[in-house]
Amino acid sequence: MKRPGFVGGTLDRADHVRSNPALVAQAFADPRSRMLVLDDLDPVVDGANLATIALPQGTAAEAYCLLGIGEDGPLFIRLDPSLGHGGQFAPQVWSVAPLLAPDQLALYGTARSLIDWHARHRFCANCGTPTAPIKAGWARRCGAGLSSGSESESGGCGAEHFPRVDPVTIMLAEHDGRILVGRQPRFPAGRYSALAGFIEPGETIEEAVARELWEEAGIVVDNVRYAMSQPWPFPSSLMIACVAQARDDVLTIDETELEHAMWVDADGVRAAMAGEAGAPFIAPPEMAVAYHLFKFWLDRS
């Protein structure tokens, strides 16, 4: 069964290594160690795999993040504070994704999210002091790496910061054999998708689904069911896909969020998924979890 993009990573993330400086140094010195190659934040492809090269000589382990250890040895990615903002969508990824094996696309998503997080978290959110990578690139510590005295003497508070993941609900509201689809102005012409929104502090997944559907479409839902999830590295979200039951089909659209929304029956969704000329909308690409959420609903309708 096909899964959404960025799902299916197989590399051992080796937490026991990245928490031990001696083992990190050993992994970095391993003659089998390789470095993942990116073009800024875009993937570089070598057949069905991501391109890798030998670690450059004369570089320090602190400048890299240990992505994990595979059958071929440790794999690193270089940290670059000059990178662009990873929240921007990357058109190159959409064209390259079909060429990559699923585990390689998942690896790219992990690497992209990590190096973007490092580039944007060079200062402590608690006290403003510069931070530096620790734990083989899987955390940053305030004051680490400063040359003068202890962390407290040099102004750092010693706080540790870890890569963040932002949970997002993406959901289909169902009513009388139809589902609600919507489009944002940035979508290509004719494309509709499931509605989505970030989970806010103090909310459950179910509460976030209900709130987002009320805010964006003016409908009340219950019976929220989880379907699947997908890491989304633009820059670092976790898409949590659900289906909910709407109490009625009267829509009040928030035009600051949606350009248009409509109810579509199963035949219309099937036509969209098949790319038929007369379909009521253009479906999301197969790499997106929304595509698989449509299929999840069709398989159960």
Tokens of 58: 């004369």
Cβ atoms 272, 279 nearer than 8 A: yes
Cβ atoms 188, 208 nearer than 8 A: no
For the chain, where do the domains classified as CATH 3.90.79.10 start and end? 166-300
User: Pick from 193, 208, 221: which is nearest to 286 by CA?
Assistant: 193
Please state the three-class secondary structure of the chain as a single string: CCCCCCCCCCCECCHHHHCCHHHHHHHHHCCCCEEECEECCEECEECCEECEEECCCCCCHHHEEEEEEECCEEEEEECCCCCCCCCCCCHHHHHHHHHCCHHHHHHHHHHHHHHHHHHHCCECCCCCCEEEEEHHHCEEEECCCCCCCCCCCCCCCCCEECCCCEEEEEEEEEECCEEEEEECCCCCCCECECEEEECCCCCCHHHHHHHHHHHHHCCCEEEEEEEEEEEECCCCEEEEEEEEEECCCCCCCCCCCCCEEEEEEHHHHHHHHHCCCCCCCECCCCCCHHHHHHHHHHHHC
Give the integer Cα–Cα distance in Å for 134 and 121. 13
Give the integer Cα–Cα distance in Å for 75 and 263. 47
| Phi, psi of 195, rounded to the nearest 5 degrees | -75, 155
pTM of the model: 0.92
| pLDDT of res. 57 | 87
Paired strand residues for 246: 221
User: Pick from 167, 146, 142: which is nearest to 157 by CA?
Assistant: 142
Tokens of 176: 């009388």
| pLDDT of res. 151 | 44
| pLDDT of res. 87 | 63
Tokens of 230: 């997908």
CATH topology (fold) of 166-300: Nucleoside Triphosphate Pyrophosphohydrolase (3.90.79)
| pLDDT of res. 251 | 98
Report the 10 Å Cβ neighbour count for 202: 6
Cβ atoms 217, 248 nearer than 8 A: no
Paired strand residues for 181: 262
Return per-residue pLDDT of the chain as tens, 301 residues.
689 999 999 999 999 999 999 999 999 999 999 999 998 888 999 999 999 999 998 899 999 999 999 999 999 999 988 876 666 667 788 888 888 999 999 999 999 999 999 999 999 999 999 999 999 999 999 997 665 444 444 568 999 999 999 999 999 999 999 999 999 999 999 999 999 999 999 999 999 999 999 999 999 999 999 999 999 999 999 999 999 999 999 999 999 999 999 999 999 999 999 999 999 999 999 999 999 999 999 999 8
User: Pick from 38, 82, 79, 39: which is nearest to 59 by CA?
Assistant: 79
